[in-house]
Chain A
Amino acid sequence: MTPLDQRIDDVRSSALREISEAGDRSALDGVRVKYLARKGHIAALFEELSSVPPDQKPAAGKALNLLRREIQAAFDARLGQAAHPEGRRIDRTDLTLPGKQKWVGSRHPLTQTLDEIRGIFRRMGFAVATGPEIEDDYHNFEALNFPPDHPARDMQDTFFISKNVLLRTHTSPVQIRVMENTPPPVRVIIPGRVYRNEAISARSYCLFHQVEGLYVDQGVTFRELKGTLVSFAKQFYGSSLKYRFRPSYFPFTEPSAEMDITCFLCGGEGCRVCKKTGWLEILGCGMVDPNVYSFVGYDPKKVSGYAFGMGIERIAMLRFGLDDIRILFENDVRFLRQFA
């Protein structure tokens, strides 16, 4: 395309746009003067014809004449409309053009999962508490009834900052902090980041997030613990869910249990995700061990309570069908966009 052709195209598109956008007669007249008058843009283009090489002149002249007729016609048609303002105006806008897009953001899938869990427990009367990630041995282990030199400490591989200071391995130390600062009753959930010194793989990462729950009051029973967690699980996973509680061991609860639900991927038939068992472990729980009350100054004869905890990554992975935990921390836009 020669430069002149390009200019012809530019003038055509801007003239046609301005004609269609002109709202009244005077605006339309302005457009006419700008393009069609003796000193208008089209006349200026005709003057340039003299500098076009002779062999291209006929074609260029023809194109310019076509342009003038076209613009004149559009002007006449528009003038007709403007002359009859009460008449129906024909809108020539191409409505198939795409709309003006916005960036669409979203919360991270882990936040979405946590929000939902938090919302359910809030409706069940739990307040939210938080605590530090850099913890001391006392809050992370000792006050939770992990005696020094006890094999239970091997359950959680720990990152140490010093002999006494470490990165918390669970959100449970916040239980201790809450009870240290509040007389019973306490009813809280505790979300937060925890660290484990484990090799990074598809199944485990050096850090993850937990939600912990704690309820201590008079006369709290194991039955109520079951009721609360069943209610949560049905709100989160659906009311037709099947579940089971089986005995387990955590130093800070006695009795301790783990809660399984029917694998929702295979419906309990057994698949890769549930390791052929038909069940998915979703949380650990139990009645607060009396030793813990002694550490925080509660009277184990007067109060009882329960605690529970779950890993948000695990729940999010099951929910969204992810098989590699690392993808959650990679933050690839193609991954994150799926959660908008």
Chain B
Amino acid sequence: MRVSKKWLKKYVDFRIGDDLLAERLTMAGLEVESVTSQAANLKGIIVGEVRSVGIHPNADRLSLCSVFDGSGEVQVVCGAPNVESGQKVAFAAVGTTVPRSQHDPDGVPMQIGRVKIRGVESSGMICSGFELGLSDDREGILVLDSSARPGTPLSRHLHLDDTAFDIGVTANRPDLLSHIGVAREISALTRSPLKIPPVHLRTTRRGSLPLKVQVQDGRNCRRYSARVVRDITVGPSPGWLQALLTAAGVRPINNVVDVTNYVLMEIGQPLHAFDYDKLSGHQIIVRGGDDTSRFVTLDGKERIVDSSTLLICDGEGPVALAGVMGGENSEISGSTKTVVLESAYFDPVSIRRTAKRLGLSTEASQRFERGTDPNITLWALNRAADLLSQNAGGTVQDTLVDVYPRVIRELRIDFNAENSNKLLGIKLSNQTISGLLKRIGIECVGRPTRQGKIRFRVPTWRPDISREVDLIEEVARLYGYDKIEADTKIHLTLDVSPSRRSIEDDLGDYLSSAGYQEIITNSMLSARESANSTGESVRILNPISREMETLRSDLLHSMLTVIQHNINNGISSSRFYEFGKTYRMDPNGDPEKLGSFHEEEKLLIAIFGLQEPVFWGNRTEQSTIFTLKGECNALIRKISLDNPRYIPYSTPTALSERSIFIEISGERVGMIGTVSGDLLKIFDLESDIHFLELSMTRLTNFPKEKIQFREYPRYPVVTRDLAVVVDESVSIGDLGESIRQAAGEMLGEMAVFDIYRGNQLEPGKKSVAFSLEFIPREKTLGQEEIQAIMSRIMQRVSTTFNAVLRQ
């Protein structure tokens, strides 16, 4: 809501500076987003006279103008189609700043420099209405009336000496969508009285024109007031009215429309003016739409009306969408002689539904859907009629229509100061509270009860106040939030449930220390990217774009987007991880039920390029799937779970070329894989990318193994190497498992440190070298005991795998 300072001063006499006013309004809950002084905004911009217009030698669409600035002539290149010799224009000389740049979407200020445009020097700029912040017209320059004197500051010529305050009005305060509403707050803040101008309407009985009003839908139209004003002459509004509207951000149109807008901005009551002669049967019927039909609103667009739409109709059909927008068929035109002014109270929900359904939000609908004051319709109606008679030569008929079968009365709310003090943590007396509320028109009625309760009467312009707690908020607001001292000494109920560090924190800390970089990505993807094998992907009804119309079913696609971005930016090695959710819907699940949707917390790690940074001491290896298989052991160990079991799976899937499934205690918790060629192709990637995915949801469900000290044997550990030759087909995992079984409980760590194939072996054979660590239980191990174990191992592997000891 943009309010004009001059306009506000009509209702309250305040004498504080603009900045202080802005601050006090903000602290009262009327957040002032910007303060704009018209004169300051147009500083340095003057009236100029176009003395000549020539052709730019190098550009067809540009003209070469000579502009007289009151003291001399300067050459200016101008791109506007409407520039003509002899015009008085708004001229910005070199060094001044125009409020908005025509070429910037946000319209940021632009400083004028001396520039060459297509090879011709230009010293200054002839401004458009948009650039000056006076209108949205970007098409041509602003042409001033011919009486303007070159050299005069533009703000003085246009009488632009007002200040505008842009206030972010919260959704609960319809009363603040008007100057009187804001003035009421200023009055409360500055303790200057609020003056609402009385309306002295002169009416006539002569030659009465008939008007019949019938409200059929009394639930959605609670009050309908109307008047007829005849003999008007449609034309421009007087300067003072135009200036106030302009300052408040409303574009002047003609005296009839301007008057209705003026009253709207003054007290917040939306009014509508119909052309009386276009109303068939000179009657108005307020009713719901009967059937789906079409109707053209005065913005020239065809709207579909249905049975839920509240309509204003004449004898034939709709003439307006009630509370939203009038129709083209009853619009005021230059030849309108008689108008019907409508001032009504419509049900907020009905208006909101229509505005939402049609995607049509207007100044009127915004106020009706928040709740207007049903008891100001007559004031507003008479005010507008009076202004029409003064500014459009109209004669006001004395017949007044006011259909208001059930009066909406002011609410009375019981208030207990004790409750208020308890909630806020302060001590205010009944008297102080009554005094505060009185400033905004909330009056105490009767005397306090024996229990100390007082009763307040809430004016109908405050539909947001219906309970004691709503009044408590007003008390706090008017008392001042800042006067309520912060209390850092608190009473606290201590937690008695076991504290647990989340495994996500444990894993995240580990991964970051191990050189992995955490990423956070968008969880909305295209339908193709979230195609799902385990259920239906979750589809958004109103997505921003096709690229984001579903929720992801895996983390890999967003990860690859990140990898692609980095590879395209010259990064050749990286390791990333992300904690994120994946989403799916039960096949044939009911989309209206929350139970049909499932979210799973996952961890995805992906690596590509070198295993570690290059080093002069040895050659650096590329990352492989085994890098991640090793990392997986460390991760699981980090969160104290059972050893994982790995199940290799060489059949390619849509996502991976080869996979290793990870099981813990018999349950699958994730997989390790190498990104499939198809997927790499989609992302236009060439390097091998390996990934490890773990379901955090499942890992969290396992009971964490408690760390429990076990006595360990204090004898020296003995290490032995063992190299065996086996057929190429033998799986090394199985071989290792067999060794572990044969070795018995003394075997500690076991590692594979070499695999050899070559001319020292028979074809089709490989040699696998293990390093075995033995931890003696009872006494120091002697040569013989070790030898016995080693023979046992050899015996087992030669039987099972036909293995031969490599000499």
Residues of A whose CB lies within 8 Å of any CB of B are: 97-98, 100-108, 110-111, 125, 127-128, 132-136, 149-152, 154-155, 159-165, 167, 185, 187, 193, 195, 197, 199-200, 206-207, 217, 219, 221-224, 226-231, 244-249, 251, 254-257, 275, 287, 289-290, 304, 328-334, 336-337
Q: Would you give 12 A-B contacts (Cβ < 8 Å), ordered by A?
A: A125-B494, A132-B599, A152-B171, A154-B171, A167-B551, A227-B490, A229-B486, A244-B482, A246-B29, A247-B477, A249-B170, A304-B423
Residue B484 contacts which of A125, A160, A164, A222 (CB distance < 8 angstroms)? A222
**Chain B neighbourhood of A257, CB < 8 A:** 481
Residue B519 contacts which of A167, A219, A289, A336 (CB distance < 8 angstroms)? A336
Q: Could you tell me if A230 and B173 are in contact, using CB atoms closer than 8 angstroms?
A: no
Q: Could you tell me if A134 and B594 are in contact, using CB atoms closer than 8 angstroms?
A: yes
Taking the closest CB of chain B, its distance from the CB of A111, in whole angstroms, is 6
Q: Could you tell me if B565 and A330 are in contact, using CB atoms closer than 8 angstroms?
A: yes
Does residue B473 face the partner (Cβ distance < 8 Å to A)?
Answer: yes
Taking the closest CB of chain A, its distance from the CB of B360, in whole angstroms, is 14
- Residue of chain A at shortest CB distance from B486: A226
Residues of B whose CB lies within 8 Å of any CB of A are: 26-29, 31, 33-34, 170-173, 348-349, 352-353, 366, 369-370, 422-426, 467, 469-470, 472-473, 476-477, 481-482, 484-495, 497, 502, 508-509, 511-524, 538-544, 548, 551, 562, 565-566, 569, 571, 574-576, 581, 583, 591-594, 597, 599, 612-613, 615-617
Taking the closest CB of chain B, its distance from the CB of A270, in whole angstroms, is 10
**Chain B neighbourhood of A223, CB < 8 A:** 424-426, 484-487
- Residue of chain A at shortest CB distance from B576: A331
Q: Could you tell me if A103 and B515 are in contact, using CB atoms closer than 8 angstroms?
A: yes
Q: Could you tell me if A247 and B540 are in contact, using CB atoms closer than 8 angstroms?
A: no
Measured CA separation A256–B476 after assembly (Å): 10
Measured CA separation A185–B491 after assembly (Å): 12
Measured CA separation A257–B551 after assembly (Å): 34
**Chain B neighbourhood of A106, CB < 8 A:** 512, 517-518
Given A134-B594, A255-B477, A333-B517, 4 more pairs with CB closer than 8 A: A100-B615, A134-B583, A155-B171, A223-B484
Q: Could you tell me if A230 and B488 are in contact, using CB atoms closer than 8 angstroms?
A: yes
Known: A125-B494, A249-B172. A333 touches B574 (CB 8 A): yes
Q: Could you tell me if A332 and B516 are in contact, using CB atoms closer than 8 angstroms?
A: no
Known: A103-B515, A222-B424, A290-B467. A133 touches B521 (CB 8 A): no
Q: Could you tell me if A161 and B519 are in contact, using CB atoms closer than 8 angstroms?
A: no
Report the tally of A-B residue pairs with Cβ distances under 8 A.
233
Known: A103-B612, A222-B425. A249 touches B171 (CB 8 A): yes
**Chain B neighbourhood of A102, CB < 8 A:** 515, 612-613
Known: A111-B508, A187-B493. A159 touches B540 (CB 8 A): yes
Taking the closest CB of chain B, its distance from the CB of A204, in whole angstroms, is 11
Q: Could you tell me if B518 and A100 are in contact, using CB atoms closer than 8 angstroms?
A: no
A-B residue pairs, 8 tightest by C-beta: A103-B515, A247-B29, A223-B425, A221-B425, A249-B170, A255-B473, A162-B591, A101-B613
Known: A125-B492, A134-B583, A151-B369. A162 touches B592 (CB 8 A): yes
Q: Could you tell me if B571 and A333 are in contact, using CB atoms closer than 8 angstroms?
A: yes
Measured CA separation A199–B105 after assembly (Å): 14
Taking the closest CB of chain A, its distance from the CB of B652, in whole angstroms, is 28
Residue B520 contacts which of A254, A287, A329 (CB distance < 8 angstroms)? A329
- Residue of chain A at shortest CB distance from B467: A290
For B173, B473, B521, which residue has the most chain A Cβ atoms within 10 angstroms? B473
**Chain A neighbourhood of B422, CB < 8 A:** 219, 221, 304
Q: Could you tell me if B486 and A227 are in contact, using CB atoms closer than 8 angstroms?
A: yes
Residue A207 contacts which of B370, B508, B518, B522 (CB distance < 8 angstroms)? B522
Q: Could you tell me if A332 and B495 are in contact, using CB atoms closer than 8 angstroms?
A: no
Known: A151-B370, A165-B594, A289-B469. A332 touches B566 (CB 8 A): yes
Q: Could you tell me if A227 and B617 are in contact, using CB atoms closer than 8 angstroms?
A: no
Taking the closest CB of chain B, its distance from the CB of A31, in whole angstroms, is 20
**Chain B neighbourhood of A287, CB < 8 A:** 423
**Chain A neighbourhood of B349, CB < 8 A:** 149
Taking the closest CB of chain B, its distance from the CB of A95, in whole angstroms, is 13
Measured CA separation A227–B370 after assembly (Å): 34
Q: Could you tell me if B488 and A162 are in contact, using CB atoms closer than 8 angstroms?
A: no
**Chain A neighbourhood of B551, CB < 8 A:** 134, 167
**Chain B neighbourhood of A245, CB < 8 A:** 481-482
Known: A245-B482, A247-B481. A111 touches B520 (CB 8 A): yes
Known: A160-B542, A329-B522. A224 touches B31 (CB 8 A): no
**Chain A neighbourhood of B348, CB < 8 A:** 149, 151
**Chain A neighbourhood of B26, CB < 8 A:** 246
Q: Could you tell me if A226 and B487 are in contact, using CB atoms closer than 8 angstroms?
A: yes
Q: Could you tell me if B493 and A217 are in contact, using CB atoms closer than 8 angstroms?
A: yes
Q: Could you tell me if A110 and B470 are in contact, using CB atoms closer than 8 angstroms?
A: no
Known: A102-B613, A245-B482, A304-B422. A107 touches B490 (CB 8 A): no
Q: Could you tell me if B488 and A231 are in contact, using CB atoms closer than 8 angstroms?
A: yes
**Chain B neighbourhood of A256, CB < 8 A:** 473
Residue B488 contacts which of A227, A255, A289, A337 (CB distance < 8 angstroms)? A227
Residue B487 contacts which of A160, A193, A221 (CB distance < 8 angstroms)? A221
Q: Could you tell me if A254 and B583 are in contact, using CB atoms closer than 8 angstroms?
A: no
Known: A160-B542, A336-B517. A249 touches B522 (CB 8 A): no
**Chain B neighbourhood of A159, CB < 8 A:** 540-543
Q: Could you tell me if B540 and A167 are in contact, using CB atoms closer than 8 angstroms?
A: yes
**Chain A neighbourhood of B469, CB < 8 A:** 254, 289-290
Q: Could you tell me if A107 and B541 are in contact, using CB atoms closer than 8 angstroms?
A: no
**Chain A neighbourhood of B34, CB < 8 A:** 275
Residue A134 contacts which of B497, B519, B538 (CB distance < 8 angstroms)? B538
Taking the closest CB of chain B, its distance from the CB of A163, in whole angstroms, is 6
- Residue of chain A at shortest CB distance from B474: A255
- Residue of chain B at shortest CB distance from A138: B594
Taking the closest CB of chain B, its distance from the CB of A231, in whole angstroms, is 5
Q: Could you tell me if B518 and A108 are in contact, using CB atoms closer than 8 angstroms?
A: yes
Q: Could you tell me if A134 and B597 are in contact, using CB atoms closer than 8 angstroms?
A: yes
Q: Could you tell me if B569 and A332 are in contact, using CB atoms closer than 8 angstroms?
A: yes
Measured CA separation A328–B583 after assembly (Å): 22
Taking the closest CB of chain B, its distance from the CB of A70, in whole angstroms, is 22
Taking the closest CB of chain B, its distance from the CB of A45, in whole angstroms, is 25
Q: Could you tell me if B353 and A328 are in contact, using CB atoms closer than 8 angstroms?
A: no
Measured CA separation A135–B515 after assembly (Å): 36
Q: Could you tell me if A163 and B473 are in contact, using CB atoms closer than 8 angstroms?
A: no
Q: Could you tell me if A206 and B425 are in contact, using CB atoms closer than 8 angstroms?
A: no
- Residue of chain A at shortest CB distance from B569: A332
**Chain A neighbourhood of B487, CB < 8 A:** 221, 223-224, 226-227
Q: Could you tell me if A165 and B591 are in contact, using CB atoms closer than 8 angstroms?
A: yes
For A97, A162, A187, which residue has the most chain B Cβ atoms within 10 angstroms? A162
Known: A221-B424, A222-B425, A223-B487. A331 touches B520 (CB 8 A): yes
Measured CA separation A104–B511 after assembly (Å): 10
**Chain B neighbourhood of A161, CB < 8 A:** 538-541, 591, 597
**Chain B neighbourhood of A249, CB < 8 A:** 29, 170-173
**Chain A neighbourhood of B425, CB < 8 A:** 221-224
- Residue of chain A at shortest CB distance from B585: A161
Measured CA separation A223–B483 after assembly (Å): 10
**Chain A neighbourhood of B481, CB < 8 A:** 244-247, 255, 257
**Chain B neighbourhood of A133, CB < 8 A:** 523, 581, 583, 599
Measured CA separation A275–B168 after assembly (Å): 14
Known: A105-B518, A165-B594, A222-B423. A134 touches B473 (CB 8 A): no
Q: Could you tell me if A105 and B515 are in contact, using CB atoms closer than 8 angstroms?
A: yes
**Chain B neighbourhood of A206, CB < 8 A:** 522, 524, 544, 548
Q: Could you tell me if A111 and B518 are in contact, using CB atoms closer than 8 angstroms?
A: yes
Measured CA separation A248–B517 after assembly (Å): 39
Measured CA separation A247–B597 after assembly (Å): 38
**Chain A neighbourhood of B521, CB < 8 A:** 329, 331
Measured CA separation A256–B173 after assembly (Å): 13
- Residue of chain B at shortest CB distance from A164: B592
Q: Could you tell me if B515 and A255 are in contact, using CB atoms closer than 8 angstroms?
A: no
**Chain B neighbourhood of A187, CB < 8 A:** 492-493, 495
**Chain B neighbourhood of A337, CB < 8 A:** 517
- Residue of chain B at shortest CB distance from A115: B505
